Amino acid sequence: MYSNQLNYQTFVQFLLFAIALLNCDAKLVLFLRSQYFCEKKAKKNMRQAEKSEYPQHKYFSRYIEYSDSQDVIEMLTKQKEEVLFLMKNLSAEQQKYRYAEGKWSIQELLGHITDTERIFSYRSVCIARGEKKPLPGFDENEYMEAANFESQPFEDLLEQYRLVRESSIALYRSMTEEVASRMGNANGFAVSARAYAWAIAGHEAHHLSIIRERYLG
């Protein structure tokens, strides 16, 4: 669907470009040319992380396996639209629902997904910029207790999610092959900058699966 949309947009831009040339409209030609190259840039995708680029840890490797797409930018983009659509249609009761005692609510899960993406993308930035110091891990349960997500308006949490995801997409689109493959150390493990792109996608896919099966099923 996403690639078909881009192909259609390219065709329309080419058609308008030809019309502009025939009419000698220099400003329109320059504008359409800039739009074409922006679109070409948007199609760029980084190579998938190899097993040597991330820890074979039961959680991290599972997230990578969840993100089975070869185009991580497309996956992150589709997930954003999916989450926004899903969450916008939840009732207040569904937002606070827990399928068992001691489990997080959907509202808390949304906050957790966003916080985890913040941390993973930050690690990517550090590693991409050549950071040599080990980056610390984090305890998701301690972060959850400190966040108090259920006291925040659900709409605000959803907007935070959208902004963080769009920032992540822009970050990974900007990385060259050389930058994306740089290695660093996070939570005691060797990992590449690009591995976190798939970890973000896989972590979210994991939680979306749980939400559908145990919260909304």
Q: Tens place of pLDDT for every residue, the chain, 217 residues? A: 444 444 545 555 565 556 655 666 555 545 545 444 444 444 456 788 889 999 987 788 888 887 766 799 999 999 999 999 999 999 999 999 999 999 999 999 999 999 999 999 999 999 999 999 999 999 999 999 999 999 999 999 999 999 999 999 999 999 999 999 999 999 999 999 999 999 999 999 999 999 999 999 8
State both tokens at 179.
């930058």
- In whole angstroms, give the CA distance from residue 177 to residue 186: 20
Q: Specify the 3-state DSSP secondary structure of 216.
A: coil
Radius of gyration of the chain (CA): 20
What spatial distance separates the first Cα and last Cα of the chain, rounded to whole Å?
A: 26
pLDDT of 61: 85
Nearest to 216 by CA among 82, 111, 116: 82
Q: Is 186 exposed, middle or buried (0-12, 13-18, 19+ CB in 10 A)?
A: buried
What is the reported pLDDT for 6?
A: 45
Mapping DSSP to helix (H, G, I), strand (E, B) and coil, where does residue 185 land?
strand
Q: Which residues contact 88 (CB under 8 A, 6 or more apart)?
A: 158
**Are 113 and 63 within 8 A, CB to CB?**
no
pLDDT at 15: 57
Give pLDDT, residue 11.
55
Cβ burial, residue 127 (10 Å; 0-12/13-18/19+): buried
